[in-house]
Chains A and B, each alone.
Chain A
């Protein structure tokens, strides 16, 4: 079986690279072991949120110049990074995902715990503010669904009040959710979204309308629209004031929507998505990767001209740690890790953790190496890469997307 390009890893990085590749007329396949970290999406993508302990709001591109030369943004070059990332919003739009925001200036998103955090792009239906002053004097109605414990109205109110807003809190119920509430474990955002369609959305709208009477805006948990944003639009059309959503954990409804939308877009373009399969090994010819073998395909390998590996970090087993070493399990790619596990962590949970920066080392073109020898036609992207702490920097999505688009441009030329 042959493809022009094979993408290993079906998360945000892999999906974007694959879409660009397929759009360019290259026969592309994604091999994905399981569903991705995009399922826990906060609803916002960050480019750079924090540098040297300070929050970045104005001039994120300028601030990014201060990053070390080994940082993916600097390797690509900030201007080129900006150019690549400017393609993201239109691309997402084509997949049916509408986002707002700009690289020129970060805006704020409201976290489930009531904190304002910098963001580059935020999903259209989510709460966002250009400046905390926009919150001052506003009256918010925070409306939860009765019995739903993954949404925290108290914490949201606490956060908004700090910026001069005043909030009411209420919980509503609709009969369509009664069967789900009987389940002790499955009243999750994703399951609720399956029940909240058609007339249930109308009932919900009616309740939210009443509960938010007198307020400037309603704030509700993101439990609508796992497959498309149609229920969101339907709800908003029936409510007399703006309705904005807040992310839930762990699995996020818009996260699933983003994943499925990008995947379906890729398939509509003619791409091949191979789910639930893991690449076991690769066969090389000199410094070129010729073909890969997967668990399900067994003795029938898949060949390609180019490969992109976006298997993520420890989550999803892109990297694996045992008691005395960290390794990349598919090819055994070169990493930047030490073998000393005491160096992998900091004892303070909220301090920067060294393991977050562990990953695959690459050349200037983001090609990884095996025993010091660069693999000519393999590109590594996203959280698998070494040398940055995306969590602390607030740069996870930006790096994932920039490196994916960069790799895509390489494999399409």
Chain B
């Protein structure tokens, strides 16, 4: 009979056999008993919500969207997606002003870079932080990332764009808000490394924030609007023959998976053209398409932290393999553990203690590792670890940029200059 050949349900919620393994790996349950846990919030609750939306439980807001439940599930249930989709569909709570502000990284970023020195100084002042704490409920312990005076896009257009045209092979770079408004150095590092390998870099036409913070704070219409714009820009890039790379694991994950699963934006035609820069670089080296030569005076002890979305992407191995290629790099393995910040989640006063509780074992392990710095592909993990473990954090691309011997690499690849 051709019926019942397979089981199909939204996010595979019907595949749940109630084994409870997801609850073992959920970082939130360990610190916040008000959170019903991924099983109850996800597939258990879903059956009730399908009966009547009335059964929705607002406590689902405590989910970090780390997707570690999905990684652990033996039956491929998309538990994290079930929970986030339910939040979007059923929650009646409107995003507060604070949530909207935290979610609108493009807006905040543009405003802040214009006045970066003042903003940075002000946001560092304790009285200001206390006011933000009382009025906006942004926890006063949180340190804000500093804003750059010059956006990455501005720098790129001024200093790098022209040179890129000379490369036979090019990629388009989804830089994300962090690189653009706070830390253009990472973008510069990517250009440096790719150029040395003989690959040119282009910007996307009209890139917007990937929307992960907007999704988390339920500003869905804005997230969808920006998502459409991003996909349009990505399709243009693919059409002109570029693949699209990102340096942020969260941006990459959002563009590839959260767009279709949570925003119902169909990206199947371009999804496989979007990847992390480290995956691209690894593939090219592994295939023998490019060569990379490192300095022989580079000596560092580096601990690699696995961001949650990286674990979900399953691409940790590409970043760690590249780091292990560096001769002077002593690689320290850290247990894969959520850092607790979950983007804007950890900035909110009501979540701060949970965030820190979740990340505590990781911070301890980092401090005990004796590393020179931590390598990690996610910018919000970077803020959290720098603040909570007191150790600096670099994106693997920046590590490559630091360790690479540009001249020897260029020679090995005979790139035009």
Contacts and interface: CB of A to CB of B under 8 A. Distances in A.
Interface of A: 1, 33-37, 39-40, 179-186, 188, 190-191, 194, 226, 250-251, 256, 264, 267-268, 272, 274-278, 294-300, 315-317, 322-324
Given A183-B34, A186-B29, A296-B313, A275 B71 contact: yes
**Chain B binding surface, main DSSP class:** loop
A317 B314 contact: no
Contacts of A274: 314, 317
Contacts of B40: 185-186
Nearest to B361: A227
B70 interface: yes
A50 B261 CA distance: 49
A93 to B, nearest CB: 21
B154 interface: no
B259 interface: no
Contact of B74 (A186, A296, A317): A317
Interface string B3-34: 11110000000000111110111000110011
Contact of A190 (B1, B24, B317): B24
Contact of A275 (B29, B311, B333): B311
B43 to A, nearest CB: 12
Contacts, number: 113
B265 to A, nearest CB: 20
Nearest to A323: B4
A331 to B, nearest CB: 18
Interface in B252-305: 272, 279, 283, 286
Contacts of A190: 20, 23-24
Contacts of B272: 298-299
A36 B74 contact: yes
Contacts of A322: 4-6
A39 B72 CA distance: 11
A167 to B, nearest CB: 29
17 contacts: A33-B74, A34-B21, A34-B76, A36-B74, A182-B34, A185-B36, A188-B20, A190-B20, A191-B29, A250-B18, A256-B24, A267-B333, A272-B317, A276-B311, A294-B314, A296-B314, A315-B19
Residue from A39, A40, A180, A267 with most neighbouring chain B CB atoms (10 Å): A39
A19 to B, nearest CB: 16
A34 B73 contact: yes
B120 to A, nearest CB: 38
B312 interface: yes
Interface residue tally on B, bucketed by range: 35 or more
A251 to B, nearest CB: 5
Contact of B312 (A36, A184, A276, A324): A276
Nearest to A298: B272
A300 B315 CA distance: 11
B39 interface: yes
A8 B20 CA distance: 23
B75 interface: yes
Given A191-B29, A315-B74, A317-B76, A183 B311 contact: no
B37 A34 contact: no
A39 B73 contact: no
A186 B312 contact: no
A33 B70 CA distance: 10
Given A186-B29, A186-B33, A322-B6, 20 more contacts: A36-B74, A39-B19, A39-B24, A182-B34, A184-B36, A185-B36, A186-B23, A186-B35, A186-B40, A191-B30, A226-B24, A251-B20, A251-B21, A267-B333, A275-B72, A276-B70, A276-B311, A296-B314, A299-B272, A315-B17
B21 A35 contact: yes
A274 B317 CA distance: 8
Nearest to B68: A276
Given A267-B333, A298-B272, A299-B272, A191 B70 contact: no
B286 A1 contact: yes
B33 A182 contact: yes
Residue from B24, B321, B336 with most neighbouring chain A CB atoms (10 Å): B24
A278 B6 CA distance: 18
A296 B34 CA distance: 33
Ranked 3 nearest A-B pairs via Cβ: A296-B314, A276-B71, A34-B74
A28 to B, nearest CB: 13
Interface in B101-126: none
A277 B71 CA distance: 8
A35 B36 contact: no
A22 to B, nearest CB: 14
Contacts of B6: 322
A250 B314 contact: no
